[in-house]
Amino acid sequence: MPVLCPFLKARGRQKQEPMTLTLTLTPEKETRLVAQARRAGLSLDEYVQRVLDRADEAPAPRLTPEERAARFRAWADSHGTDTPLLTDEAISREAIYSRD
């Protein structure tokens, strides 16, 4: 996926040309990056592109503790209070790990 060069964009040119980046990584960082790409089932290029795409997304808004608490209370209040509780037997180790 081509990356729009900020230099061209600032000058009003919208031509999208692929941008090549050269990164100098320590061997340890390179090993970790390659391992993360493999775990994700992606080539290194695809993985780095995905990481860059995520970094380009808008960050979550910073909330104060009071705002976080208010959102949590609103979320909790949005759930019904008439849900029947589970019995002790229903949540016992034997019931959870039964081989039925």
Q: In the chain, what are the domain boundaries?
A: 6-96
Percent of the chain with pLDDT over 90: 43
| Rounded Cα distance, 7 and 82, in Å | 59
pTM: predicted TM-score of the whole model, two decimal places: 0.43
* Residues found in the chain: 100
Contact call for residues 47 and 36 (beta carbons, < 8 A): yes
Percent of the chain with pLDDT over 70: 83
Which helix (H) or strand (E) is 71 found in, with range?
helix 65-77
Write b or e for each residue in 59-89: b if 16 or more Cβ atoms lie within 10 A of its Cβ, otherwise e: eeeeeeeeeeeeeeeeeeeeeeeeeeeeeee
Contact call for residues 89 and 95 (beta carbons, < 8 A): yes
Higher pLDDT, 65 or 60: 65
Instruction: Give me 86's structure tokens.
Output: 């589970």
Q: Which residues contact 37 (CB under 8 A, 6 or more apart)?
A: 43, 44, 46, 47, 48
